[in-house]
A and B are shown apart, each in its own frame.
Chain A
Amino acid sequence: MKVPAPPGGILQQNPFFVLDVLPEMLDLDLVYLRLDDAAGARPLELARVSADVNLSDDPAVLGRLVEGWLGQDSTSWSAPRRIALAHAELSIVPLRLGLEDRIGVLVVGSARKEFPAQTEQQLAEANRELQLRAGLLQSIPVAAWTAWPDGTPDFVSRSWLEYTGLSLEEVQSSPEAWMSAVHPEDRERASRCFRDSVRSGMGYTVELRFLRAEDETYRWHLNQAVPLNDAEGGLLRLVGTATDIQDLKEAQEQLRSTQAALAHVTRVMTVGELTASIAHEINQPLAGIITNASTCLRMLAADPPNVEGAQETARRTIRDGRRASDVITRLRALFSGEELAMSPVDLNEAAREVMALCVGEMNKNCVVMQADFADDLPTVPGDRTQLQQVILNLLLNASDAMSRVDDRPRHLIIRTDRGEGEHVRFTVQDVGVGIQPQTVARLFEPFYTTKPSGIGIGLSVCRSIIDGHGGRIWAEPNEGPGATFCVLLPLASEGSEIAPPPTGLPTRAAAVARPTGRTS
């Protein structure tokens, strides 16, 4: 669809507005506007006159009067004049409008004695302000443009021209000349967005690749545009911006892979736990295999042999065997031989990073995370990655615990503060399904799980990590809905594998997780 480009600038589209506000703004008694028509037709004349000066407010009549004062040729009007009227003395100032004065002329007048000195000052200030804004538009860190409904750019900010290496003349030479800066694969999409927007009168947001002249690489841009309409709703221009989001996109990609890596390390566990886990996971199908094999033998030994039954149990034996093999494959994938790397860890920073990694997951689950971090939190000696595993585990657990909560906001508070004694405390408070007092003690045991799909190792891994740091981890039900998981880490570096539990711990914990050592 082609919409003819309206002639002239924005002033010509909305001259009434200017005329209505000017007299009041500048305390004027006379405003006469003459807009020249590019095609050479009769100029558009508009007038506003106050009662004080007793002049005609008919634009044509006033126009002839002004010509009498300033001369026939309006392009030569420049200097202010003082006009003696019957009841007042009127000072008038002609102002040329538009770039190269092509749009027309505005004549303003006032009977005030201080006019036009003060008004000129006001105009100068207004002009400075206008220039500042125009400069702002040129220098804001996004490219800005306006375009006619046919796609021809009207205004294009300097930043975009410099970025693409195109000149204003080039992009204005034809409706879609600017497309030469768009990646060939994106041109059809770009064109469609623009045309749809013109047709529907709705704005659009689209990601497109623009060629950066500097290094001749295509970089992703976020393009947003909105229609600019006149008072009657007719489309004047599309106004848009283009923002280089290439770095952001790359960072997001990196974040995603980091997140995947971090999600992987959350499954790392101590060798002892891994062994027990393998045993448990393998023993399940093995029980099936041995039972089925026993049944199979019995069925074959019967008189007459139950061949059909034996075949069925043999099939189940094979299936359980495959299952055992799958378990091995799965567990092997969990294995990662990372060393404990102790360094001073800023828990606020570590938690903030994990929260950033979780944002996607949390948004998906409609969980709102709120950080309540203590200022000047001292660092704790620890393995940053492992501590982040714990934090991630607790955050994801909390999110899971709220997955079926629909009657209240899924609010997650992540808090750091100085614990009692020489400790730093980290807590995660959710409003989820909560925990039963009788299960609190078992939450951190390996293979204990309340989730249908869990195998119950996440919190036990958390506990062994925190134990390894000489700290404590425990859970307690909230007074309201949900549960709070607390981690207490010592400031002093005594975090070895066999560090004794710190003394003087708070006793309010419903249950304090004890080291994983098995009872004998």
Chain B
Amino acid sequence: MNELTNAQRVTRVAWIIFAINWMLVLLAVFLPIQGWAALTYGVWLLLSMPALALWLVWHYRVRFQTKRSLFLIIALLYISGIFVFGYRLNQPALNFVFTMIFWNCAITIGLTMGLFFWKNDFSIQFIGILSLLLLWGLIFLGRSQGAILQLFICNNATGMSCPYWPLAPLWCIFIWALPLGIIGFIRHTLQLLRDEW
């Protein structure tokens, strides 16, 4: 039997902790924890889950360099965002699950996108398509909800309770895509020039 490398050992441990964490999340409402225990539990989840997700994405980076994976993370981010910021459910456990999914995706989307742009020369097209989605999303939102300017300022200012802003996840992706896409574009341009000469 082949010896495991350090990375494989870490990955195995990460999977185990990841599974335990998700069990803790699912059992959250049933656990009678309060005070310091609750605080420790929350901080542990908030810090460990993204760290584990980042490690796992990095370890399986070859699989995360595809359009399908990127789309999956974006879809998860968008759907969980709807339930976190838009339509809160009456199920605290489910709300907590969606919050954790959103939190994980919001952190790992950057790494996934970075990996995707590093491997695929698709960054400019991605930014182009995303900017069109954002722009036309704003227009349709403006036409359907009205007061688009107020809505925009409200969602970007502190201390105001605002109606749900469905473009927020797209905006979040765009913020990640812009710098990463530019870096990806430069990397592929340099690569092409190096290959050619």
Mutual binders A and B: no
Chain B interface (Cβ within 8 Å of chain A)?
none
